[in-house]
Structure 1
Amino acid sequence: MAYSDFSLTEVREKLSLSLINNRLFENSLPIQPSKWLNETLNLSLDFALKSGSEKARSEFIVAPILLEMERINDRKFAIYSGKNLDADKERGLTGECDFILSKGAISYTLETPIFALVEAKKNDVESGLGQCIAQMYGAQLVNLKNPKQQIDTIYGCVTTGERWQFLKLVNQVVSIDSDRYYINEIEKIIGCLQTILSLYLTEI
């Protein structure tokens, strides 16, 4: 078993997590994208969405948005793509992650994960929620193993490229954002991501 095998039922039963719906970003302010991101998405968005390819959405939508966040935050966090997050193999908390964000500079080892992003299979956000929550829980376990880190909140997101669904894990409770965000309101997505990153980067 690996992260990609988890369903919502399994994260409740096997990981003993509670799921609730909440508005996570009521106070989040929209942030306008840079000229570079606007031009990049204008060129690639239609192709990436119509291709039906997870790889295309990853390369032409998700990666540019994460790079924009890296620029905004002066590269104070690391972006890992296709990195394994091995937290507890016996419980199936292992496997490759589409994207993981971590505090600090990029390195060979993933030490302080704070955010997991899952690309939805077959454009179905709901089908990716279990996988994302399992990765968030895995990130929580990795941080607990490091006594220097005191991170009690992990965020996540499942996206089709067009639709973005955010989540938050605190202890054993997962909050699934009751608001939905869409790529045609990119300033709201950037605002949500910045709200998340600001929680961790202010400590650096």
Structure 2
Amino acid sequence: MAYSDFKLQELVKIFALSLQETPDYFGTIQPVAPSDHLSLTLQRNLNLAVSINTEKARSELIIAPVLLEVKQQFDGQISLFSGIDFTVDSQQGLNGVCDFLISRSPEQLFVQAPVLTLVEAALRNLW
């Protein structure tokens, strides 16, 4: 089963998770200004990504540049992967290809924990 096939209610049951909804979770985090390069890239790419109107276009033209900026902001102390197989436990359905994966490790040749996965890089609600 692909990661994107899971629904939140199923995950809570299957893995005995408890949800903690915290309003304004990132409210105390200070914003980081984007580089001039990212601002220009997004300015150039946004209309094209919206016009093409596919997940792939949004992923390549909007999400990837933002994640590259994050990697740059972290001065190489994180690694970034795109479109890789991330099988954790196939018997429990924890397998599939992630659109993007960020690891706290600077190791770029292979994935090391801890990781943040972005299963579906969709921006449908922004416009």
- When the two structures are superposed, what TM-score results if normalisation uses the length of structure 2? 0.88
Counterpart of 1:104 in structure 2 is: 106
SS at match of 1:19: coil
If each structure's strand is expressed as a fraction of its own residues, which one has the higher value? 1
Q: Any idea what the Cα deviations from partners look like across 1:127-154, whole Å, max 9, x if unmatched?
A: xxxxxxxxxxxxxxxxxxxxxxxxxxxx
SS in 1 for 2:21: strand
TM-aligned CA deviation for residue 161 of structure 1: 6.7
Q: CA deviation at 1:85?
A: 1.1
- The residue identity in structure 1 corresponding to 2:71 is E
Report the equivalent of 2:57.
56
Q: Give CA deviations for 1:163-195 in whole Å, capped at 9, x if unaligned.
A: 4xxxxxxxxxxxxxxxxxx9xxxxxxxxxxxxx
Query: Does 2:83 correspond to 1:77?
Result: no
For 1:89, the equivalent position in structure 2 comes to 90
Correspondences of 1:102-141 after superposition (within 5 Å): 102=103, 103-107=105-109, 109-119=110-120
Q: Report what 1:175 is aligned to.
A: none
Distance 1:105 1:161, change over 3 A: farther
Residue matched to 2:123: 160
Structure 1 CA distance for aligned equivalents of residues 50 and 125 of structure 2: 7
Amino acid at match of 2:120: E
TM-score (norm 1): 0.57
Counterpart amino acid of residue 30 in structure 1: P
- Shift of the alpha carbon at 1:92? 0.1
Contact 1:76 1:104 (C-alpha < 8 Å) held by counterparts = yes
Moved over 6 A (4+): none
Check whether the contact 2:4–2:119 (CA below 8 A) recurs between aligned residues: no
Deviations 1:31-85 (A, max 9, x none): 1111111110010011112322111111110110111111112111111001111
Aligned-residue Cα RMSD (Å) equals: 1.9
Compared with structure 1, are the counterparts of its residues 53 and 44 closer, same or farther at alpha carbon in structure 2 (3 Å cutoff)? same
Q: Which has the higher contact order (CA 8 A, sep 6+)?
A: 1
Q: Is the 8 A contact 1:75 1:105 kept in 2?
A: no
Q: What is the CA distance between 1:113 and its match in structure 2?
A: 3.7
In structure 2, how many angstroms separate the alpha carbons of the residues matched to 1:114 and 1:89? Answer: 18
Is contact 1:3-1:94 (8 Å) kept? yes
Q: Find the residue that maps to 2:81 and give its secondary structure.
A: strand
Does the Cα contact within 8 Å between 1:85 and 1:97 map onto a contact in 2?
A: yes
Partner Cα distance (1:38, 1:162) in 2 = 20
Show the counterpart of 2:4. Answer: 4
**How many aligned positions are there?**
125
